[in-house]
Amino acid sequence: MPSVTRKPQVGRQERRERIERQLLDATDRLMAAGASFTELSVDRLATEAGISRASFYVYFEDKGHLLRRLAGQVFGDLAAAAERWWSVADRRRSADAHAAVTAIIAAYRHHQPLLVALAEMSAYDPQVGDTYDDLLTGIAARLTSVIEHGQADGVIRREIVPATTASTLTWMVERACQQNLPSRPESYDSELADSLTQIIWGAMYLEQP
């Protein structure tokens, strides 16, 4: 017999995801316009997102809880961009890696104010810091799997240590984007994509890109 509670649970989850996306877009807009996350009130965020203050508190305890949830949305976008290469890594085409890195940089650029706030808050808010580390650890774990499968197929260098290489490359991309994009124009993004692709390719593959 089908569960009588399944549909309401699914509906609530879908509504939560929709509200999170609305709040993410609203936060990106407000911070891109010059507001800092710490000075944004719940009322202003809710109004910009087109939801009520009451709806906000149905799903979030406070702004710190919201920020942690938004981090999941942003890193989901980053992981989806990376999958453009990970899912076809065995093809050994540098164009695939370049397309993924370009998409990652574009996502960082789009969500830049929020990611800067996330990095800053992680320094003094343990829960935000743990969330940030966990999300990057999850991405590194996925890349570890890609490397292991590539090594088993003889596509990726066998002498590299999968987990260490994956963690190093993940944090390299994160730091390169976080440190450089806020102070550089969009014209810099293609240069960064070229450089990161060269480094990643050289670390993982035997062939030149």
**Same domain assignment for residues 55 and 155:** no
Based on DSSP, count helices (H) and strands (E) in the chain, helices before strands.
Answer: 9, 0
**Same domain assignment for residues 93 and 193:** yes
**Whole-number pLDDT of residue 120:** 78
Q: pLDDT of 54-64, one tens digit each?
A: 989 988 888 88
**Same domain assignment for residues 71 and 133:** yes
Residue 209 inside a domain? The answer is no
Q: pLDDT of 14-32, one tens digit each?
A: 888 888 889 888 888 898 8
* CATH of residue 34: 1.10.10.60
**Whole-number pLDDT of residue 6:** 52
**Same domain assignment for residues 112 and 48:** no
**Whole-number pLDDT of residue 60:** 87
Radius of gyration of the chain (CA): 19
Residue 1 inside a domain? The answer is yes
- Mean of the per-residue pLDDT values for the chain? 88
**Which residue, 22, 38, 60, sits at the end of a domain?**
60
Q: How far apart are CA 176 and CA 206, in angstroms?
A: 24
**Same domain assignment for residues 77 and 54:** no
**Whole-number pLDDT of residue 47:** 93
Q: pTM higher than 0.85, yes or no? A: no
Return left, alpha or beta for 34; rule: phi > 0 is left, psi -120 to 50 is alpha, else beta: left
**Same domain assignment for residues 82 and 182:** yes
Domain with 93, as residue range(s), is: 64-204
Q: In the 8-state DSSP scheme, what is residue 26?
A: H
Q: pLDDT of 102-154, one tens digit each?
A: 999 999 998 888 888 888 788 878 888 898 899 999 999 999 999 999 999 99
**Whole-number pLDDT of residue 97:** 94
**Same domain assignment for residues 70 and 169:** yes
Q: pLDDT of 91-103, one tens digit each?
A: 889 999 999 999 9
**Same domain assignment for residues 27 and 89:** no
Domain count, the chain: 2
* CATH of residue 78: 1.10.357.10
**Same domain assignment for residues 99 and 192:** yes
**Whole-number pLDDT of residue 94:** 92
With cut-offs at 50, 70 and 90, classify the pLDDT of residue 9. Answer: low
